[in-house]
Structure 1
Amino acid sequence: MPLRSRLLAEFIGTALLLAAVVGSGIMGVALADGNDAVALLANAGATAGALYVLIVLFGPISGAHFNPAVTLAMRLRGEIGGRDAAAYIAVQVVAAVSGVLLAHAMFELPLLQPGTHTRTGWAQWLSEAVATFGLLLTILLGVRHRPAAIPALVASYIFAAYWFTASTSFANPAVTVARSLTQTFAGIRPGDVAGFVIAQGIGGFLACAAAAMIDAAPKARVEESFRSTDS
């Protein structure tokens, strides 16, 4: 697939993902009547649903990374070249910001609004490391052992991680940067972005290492494990 087509797929997919994340947060708060649990449920459900659709549509074209952490993991595994990886990451960041602006426009909000939602501290950073570790491990092992299930696996994991992490699972550096430009439910203060991105990098690196160790197990043993699980 030509790089131009893959980059366009990454741009559209990442932009629509951020529009879903921020837009559903805005709508959730508007309809939840002050109930943050309902707002988070709406936010998580819309994000997971959008992810499933976008991965199904764009996976065969670009791999549906939509996330610099995923692109870097694929680069480390030699599945994408350095030049292509750099282009993917640049497009993902620009697209993520575009998606936030699109969400603001759809709800008639100021387009640029630096985030004010405080998200900092060890619990938040640990949550982002865990969220990113789980997401990358889901993708890396899923691609090898259950490739057809990747859309459902990723969507299900992100839905769950919205609820079991203190940070509500950003797990994506481009998403984190873009969400620093909104004061809505999904926002983050610009000053808190660096801590999140560092934690995501650590989680992603550990996931790559864990996946490599798991994949190093004898193939027959892995297949035997799946047969016993399925029976």
Structure 2
Amino acid sequence: MAKKGKKYIEASKLVDRARLYDASEALEVVTKIASAKFDETVEAHIKLGVDSRHADQQVRGAVVLPHGTGKTKRVLVFAKGEKAKEAEVAGADFVGAEELVSKIQGENWFEFDVVVATPDMMGLVGRLGRVLGPKGLMPNPKSGTVTFDVARAIEEIKAGKVEYRLDKTNIIHVPIGKVSFGKEKLADNFATLMEAVIKAKPAAAKGQYLKSITVASTMGPGVKINPVKVNE
């Protein structure tokens, strides 16, 4: 395990490990103890009382954060004809079809953050499943990235749309902004994310849905939020 730096150890002393904070308090602590020379990203880590191995207990979706994430995402769109033109006008960073598949396969090219595809292109995009899937880049109807309304998809992504999905340990990891946002904007983004995650609760989920919630900046220690106080 990597040795923790001096700044991390100092910051850890300012966090009460035994305590479950209110969301706004926790975010205030995170912004106060961030000490890196760059503007750190603040992430929420949400452990859910579901079993991601079961199809009926999957939690996945996307939500537009009111203040964005502080990062402009590069969008690649698989589309042809009118839809390709629409994507270009809407501000897509890359638009194409077969030639982009060849570039990704042949050159191991990944200069993009989000992939959008029109439904008729999914047969082609499917060829990239083995490389896009593990990176979480495969377009998906649930997250709004498989759509004929490419202009809207691009607009939302550029405005700060984030995807959330369970990992193998039933935890969702989502960026909710930068330390420089301050606690109010981070709290707004956090509340919007939590509302979406709560709405996405599967009918098959039993018992406590929100098991634990931690927020942390890139280089900082985690601060725990009381899940009971987050509206279930």
Give the shorter-chain TM-score range.
under 0.3
Higher relative contact order (CA 8 A, sep 6+): 2
Higher helix share: 1
TM-score by length of 2: 0.23
Larger Cα-atom Rg: 2
Higher strand share: 2
TM-score by length of 1: 0.23
